Structure 1
Amino acid sequence: MNLSGKSVAAALRFWKIEPEQALLVHDELDLPPGTARLKFDGGHGGQNGLRDTIRLLGHGRFHRLRIGIGHPGHKDRVVGWVLGKPGKDDDILIGRAIDDAIDVLPLVVNGDVNEAMKRLHTSKP
C-alpha cells in the first residue's frame, strides 16, 4: 500500500495549507500516456496514494494533476506496470504530458484553474 497520505497530511499541516488549496500530482492508469488532466474533488479511483490521502484527510476535496501512464491490459500486471519503467515511446509521451502540465501551473497558482483545465484538456495538433 502506498502511504503517501501521511506525508501529504503532514506537509499541509506544516505549511498551514487547506486541502482545497493543494495540488497533488499522481499517475493515472485510466489515462493513456501523453495525457494530463486537472481535477478537483472525487474518490481515489483505485489509486493507492489517493486512497491513503483521502483516508487521512477525511475527504477528497483537493486538486489533482493526473498524469496518464496507460493500463497494462490485465489487473494482475498493474503493480509491475506502475512500479516499472515505461517503454521508450510511453516515456516520451509521459514527458510531454508533464511539460504540458508545467505550462499551465502558473494559471493554477494564480487561481485560474478553469483556464488551466481548458488549455490542458484541449487536444494538441
Structure 2
Amino acid sequence: MKYLITGLGNPGKEYENTRHNIGFKILDALADASNIVFSDKRYGFVTEYKFKSRTLILLKPTTFMNLSGRAVNYWLQKEKVPFENLLVLTDDLALPFGTLRLRAKGGDAGHNGLKNIQEAFGRSDYARLRFGIGDDFRRGQQVDYVLSGWSKDEELDLPAKLDECIEIIHAFATVGVARAMNQFNKRK
C-alpha cells in the first residue's frame, strides 16, 4: 500500500529554518532518523520510505508554497497513490507552538499551500497534520512572522515535537486517520 506524505514549505536556504517550512523540517527529521536521502525530482525533493510493509513517498514540493497543488497532483498520479492516502504536513498560526492536530479533512484556514491543493483537486477531504507555530506577531506582521526563524525556546522543544510528528505519520499509514486522530489529538 502506498502513501504520499507531503511537507509544505518553500525551497531555498533563506526559508530553510522558518516556521512556514515546518512541513519540510518534519520530513527531514523522518529521513534523518531512517537514513534515507531526498533526490531532486520533478516538482520536488522526493524519497521513498518503507514502514511495516507500507511504502511512504515523502515529498517536499519545489513549486513554492502557493503552487503546492501542482506537485501533490503530479506525485499522486505518478505513484498511483489513492487520494485517501494523502497526508499534508503544514504550519498553523491558530494553534499554540508545538500543538499538533491531525484532521481527516478541513478548510484552508487562509493557508495558501492548502488553498492551492484544494484548488488542484476541487476538494478538501484529505488528511493534514497541522503543527502549531503560534501567533506572536503584531497586526500586519504575519508574513514576517511565518518566514522568521524559531525562538531559542522553540528550538529546544522542536526535536521532541518532530519525533511526535513521525509517530503520527506512522500511525496514519498503519491504523488510518480516524484511529490516529483519536490517539494523538487527545495529547496535551
TM-score normalized by the length of structure 2: 0.60
Partners of 1:50 and 1:75 in 2: CA distance: 22
* Residue segments in structure 2 that go unaligned for 5+ positions in a row: 1-64
Partners of 2:156 and 2:133 in 1: CA distance: 11
What is the aligned partner in structure 1 of residue 172 from structure 2?
108
TM-score normalized by the length of structure 1: 0.87
Q: Which amino acid aligns with 1:43?
A: G
Partners of 2:87 and 2:107 in 1: CA distance: 15
What is the aligned partner in structure 1 of residue 127 from structure 2?
63
* Residue segments in structure 1 that go unaligned for 5+ positions in a row: none
What is the aligned partner in structure 2 of residue 74 from structure 1?
138
What is the aligned partner in structure 2 of residue 13 from structure 1?
77
User: Which secondary structure state, in structure 2, belongs to the residue aligned with residue 76 of structure 1?
Assistant: coil
Structure 1 residues 9 and 61: CA distance shift in structure 2, 3 A: same
Q: Which amino acid aligns with 1:59?
A: R
Q: Which moved more, 1:38-47 or 1:83-92?
A: 83-92
Identity across aligned pairs (percent)? 34
Structure with the higher helix share, 1 or 2:
1
The equivalences for 1:1-125 within 5 A come to 2-124=66-188
- What are the Cα deviations for residues 35-87 of structure 1, in whole angstroms up to 9, with x where unaligned? 11100111101011000110011111110011111113434111111111111
Question: Cα RMSD between the aligned structures?
Answer: 1.8
User: Which secondary structure state, in structure 2, belongs to the residue aligned with residue 67 of structure 1?
Assistant: strand
Structure with the higher strand share, 1 or 2:
2
